[in-house]
């Protein structure tokens, strides 16, 4: 028959989803709860590896969008693991939950300790065939129009740390601002607002591998490549052209929290 669209082939869930784990009770609570707020439409699921390590790099413009990413990842057959502040791992109960789900602590400030920790984290992802979600912006975007701002190097640093690079999958969501505006209040009504999640092919980092891969200039350039892919995905979702230059908080008198520097 001509003119009839064929449904996309169903993805096979990875063992990390089908094998009993702490993610099961969490998913039983979180998936229906998020389903009240959002009707998630996913495109580009074929770009997410069905197994093996990866780094997912999404845009970040609402405190609610990590829940959209987590549910989307679960629906695509992979367990959602995030980078989390190292201090959270020392909190009773919460720390145990983070470790049980395989969350990845953010590297310490000391450069030598950070490099060693990042290498170990990268090797762990490869050894266990896990993925991790890293927000390259590090915080909610400060761009007035909610385009991705300048990225930090954590995602590519993790991807390039050990031997063969781990694929970095760019991702973008749009519509979450209708549920929880940036620094706003959660909107319970109307339910099931349309939210789109798009994944793109892994960013080509081949030019940034080899000797000097973890050098500052190289990591910044690789991060720019990832941010360009994220911006392009978001532009497709918004049907708009991303700005040629990304928002730089420090150039606008803001620190990492978005507050004005003294």
pLDDT digits (tens, 9 = 90+) for 113-135: 777 888 888 989 999 999 999 99
Q: 242: which 2 tokens?
A: 């991303």
Terminal-residue alpha carbon distance, the chain: 66
**152 with 138: CB under 8 angstroms?**
yes
- CA atoms of 16 and 173, how far apart (whole Å): 24
Please give the residue that has the higher pLDDT: either 87 or 45: 45
Residue 41 within any structural domain of the chain: no
**44 with 56: CB under 8 angstroms?**
no
Residue 177 within any structural domain of the chain: yes
Please give the residue that has the higher pLDDT: either 111 or 247: 247
> What is the phi/psi pair of residue 11, to 5°?
-75, 140
Residue 199 within any structural domain of the chain: yes
Q: What's the Cα-to-Cα distance from 58 to each of 41, 72, 110, 192, 238, rounded to whole Å? A: 15, 12, 26, 21, 15
* 3-class state of residue 107 by DSSP: coil
Using pLDDT thresholds of 50, 70 and 90, give the confidence band for residue 14: confident
Q: What's the Cα-to-Cα distance from 138 to each of 43, 60, 66, 153, rounded to whole Å? A: 24, 8, 12, 9
Average pLDDT taken over every residue of the chain = 88
Torsion sign over Cα 70, 72, 73, 74: positive
Residue 60 within any structural domain of the chain: yes
Residue 261 has pLDDT above 90, yes or no: no
Q: Percent of the chain having pLDDT more than 90?
A: 63
In the predicted model, what is the mean pLDDT of residues 18-40? 93
**Max alpha carbon distance in the chain (Å)?**
66
> What is the phi/psi pair of residue 99, to 5°?
-65, -40
Residue 175 within any structural domain of the chain: yes
* 3-class state of residue 231 by DSSP: helix
CATH at 117: 3.40.1130.10
> What is the phi/psi pair of residue 208, to 5°?
-115, 10
Domain of residue 94 covers 46-243
Residue 253 within any structural domain of the chain: no
Using pLDDT thresholds of 50, 70 and 90, give the confidence band for residue 19: confident
Residue 179 within any structural domain of the chain: yes
- From the list 102, 7, 4, the residue with the least C-alpha distance to 45 is 7
Characterize the bridge pairing of strands 193-199 and 38-43. parallel
Please give the residue that has the higher pLDDT: either 127 or 57: 57
Using pLDDT thresholds of 50, 70 and 90, give the confidence band for residue 7: very low
Q: 60: which 2 tokens?
A: 């970040």
Q: 135: which 2 tokens?
A: 């927000």
Distance, CA of 185 to chain centre:
23
Residue 92 within any structural domain of the chain: yes
Q: How many domains does the chain have?
A: 1
Residue 173 has pLDDT above 80, yes or no: yes
Using pLDDT thresholds of 50, 70 and 90, give the confidence band for residue 159: very high
pLDDT of 62-80, one tens digit each? 999 999 999 999 999 999 9
């Amino acid at each position: 028959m001509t003119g009839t669209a064929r449904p996309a082939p169903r993805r096979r869930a990875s063992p990390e989803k089908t094998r009993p784990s702490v993610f099961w009770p969490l998913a039983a609570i979180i998936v229906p709860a998020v389903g009240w707020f959002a009707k998630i439409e996913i495109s580009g699921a074929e770009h997410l590896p069905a197994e093996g390590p990866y780094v997912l790099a999404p845009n970040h413009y609402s405190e609610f969008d990590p829940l959209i990413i987590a549910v989307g990842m679960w629906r695509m057959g992979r367990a959602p693991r995030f980078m989390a502040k190292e201090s959270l791992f020392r909190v009773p109960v919460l720390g145990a939950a983070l470790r049980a789900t395989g969350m990845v602590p953010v590297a310490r400030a000391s450069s030598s300790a950070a490099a060693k920790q990042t290498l170990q984290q990268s090797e762990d992802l490869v050894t266990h065939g896990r993925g991790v979600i890293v927000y390259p912006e590090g915080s909610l975007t400060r761009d007035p129009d909610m385009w991705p701002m300048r990225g930090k190097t954590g995602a590519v640093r993790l991807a390039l740390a050990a031997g063969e690079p781990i694929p970095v999958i760019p991702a973008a969501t749009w519509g979450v601002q209708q549920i929880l505006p940036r620094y706003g209040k959660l909107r319970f009504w109307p339910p099931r607002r349309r939210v789109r999640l798009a994944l793109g092919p892994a960013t080509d980092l081949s030019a940034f591998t080899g000797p000097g891969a973890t050098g500052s200039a190289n990591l910044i350039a690789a991060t720019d490549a990832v941010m360009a892919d994220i911006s392009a995905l978001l532009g497709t979702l918004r049907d708009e052209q991303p700005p040629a230059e990304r928002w730089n908080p420090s150039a606008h008198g803001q620190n990492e929290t978005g507050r004005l520097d003294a």
